Structure 1
């Protein structure tokens, strides 16, 4: 029984040392951010972030969110490409119909026929593209909310559900700090898992239309 206090003290000392190390690294990384955001990241905020990162669980959570986002963006991009291919096929089919019409229509009717059919097709393509873009924006926005909610529940400071552009940028900066620190810790001779395989997790600012990254 006498050995337990020593073990507890040892674990506590290791945690304090790791907390101090993480806090020191975060303070160094913050210097690369714009001054306006540096001012918002107080000592207490960075200290709380360092505490959240001590056991590595948050790193794993962020990696999981990155993987989900990557799959989501790939799926949405494939859907957009499929729709584009379908529209190209419709245009080719219309050209074929125009050639067939040369055999059945009088010359003075052909120009009007082509114009009407092209106009109808363009309206259809535009409407379908707009519907697809709205679907993409809605799914990405939902992923943003899911990411914020997950990180908030994980106890990561600065994360909560919001659509405020300034707060979203702040959350992006916090994520960047975590990912840079994780990458630094993954260097040879240091503990921790390899850095994320995908690019930085995005928390985009809501806009009427947002292009999907390739």
Structure 2
């Protein structure tokens, strides 16, 4: 009997154990399902959030592109209006494609800053060269005045019978000084031309590297005229942009 009770007790414990295992397994499965469902829901939220961010970025990029297109159209229209003020021979060289490419290069304003910097360098160079030429001219004028006064004093101290010889010698000296002055002026003018030519080359190279249509290193007079017209268009357009910014500020 004791063994039987023990057997029943064993089966009862075993039965309760089985039921506990089944209940535990069910609870574990329920918890796992709940966790899985929560993960799926969270994944759905993340997916929707990611999709929203991507959509926002796409919309922002589209708006940026639209603004650039509008700015390109406005710059192109303003360039076309400015070209009408140029001589007809220049207008023929400035095709729609050239102006459109120029408007594209001007979109972000960098070329405006580059041109402004180049013009400032050019003006400083011209001012410096002009000052050097004025300085040389002043030195030459002082040299001739000093020579004239020295000759005059020598003539006053000279005996009359030696005066013709003295004047002839002074004339030769004056001619030599004037020849020296002409040579120094010629060298100065050549220096000025070379430095200004180098500035033109620097401008051509810089604007070519910046992707500005029509600019490359050349000495062809027609191409130089075209580049000067393009620079003038950029400068005038920059002034209009600056005036517009001041009006809205």
| TM-score (ref. length: structure 2) | 0.74
Superposition RMSD in Å: 1.5
Residue matched to 1:46:
99
The equivalent residue for 1:169 is 225
Quick one: which of 165, 168, 176 aligns to 1:112?
168
Residue of structure 2 equivalent to 1:20: 73
Distance in 1, Cα, partners of 2:100 & 2:135: 47
1: distance between equivalents of 2:174 and 2:200?
A: 39
Runs of 4+ in 1 over 3 A off after TM superposition: none
1:70, 1:115 → 2: CA distance? 41
Distance in 2 (CA, whole Å) between partners of 1:180 and 1:135 is 31
1:160 aligns with 2:216: yes
- Deviation per residue, 1:5-57 (Å, 9 max, x gap): 01101100100000010011111111111112212211111111000001110
State the partner residue of 2:9: none
1:36 and 2:89 aligned: yes
- 1:137-166 superposed Cα distances (whole Å, 9 cap, x missing partner): 110000010010001001000000000000
In the TM superposition, residue 111 of structure 1 has moved relative to its aligned partner by 1.8
Distance apart, 1:191 and its partner CA: 2.8
Query: How many correspondences in the alignment?
Result: 191
- How far is the alpha carbon of 1:104 from its aligned partner? 4.1
TM-score (norm 1): 0.85
Q: Which has the higher helix share?
A: 2
Larger Rg over CA atoms: 2
2:245 alignment partner, SS class: coil
**Match of 2:135?**
82
CA drift of 1:108 comes to 2.2
Tell me whether 1:144 sits opposite 2:200 in the alignment: yes
User: Which residue matches 1:191?
Assistant: 245
Q: What residue ranges of structure 1 are gaps of 5+ in the alignment?
A: 193-214
Find the aligned partners of 1:98 and 1:37 in 2 and give their Cα distance: 58
CA distance in 1, matches of 2:139, 2:173: 17
CA distance in 2, matches of 1:101, 1:182: 63
Higher relative contact order (Cα pairs below 8 Å, separated by 6+ residues)? 1
Which ranges of structure 2 fall in alignment gaps of 5 or more residues? 1-52
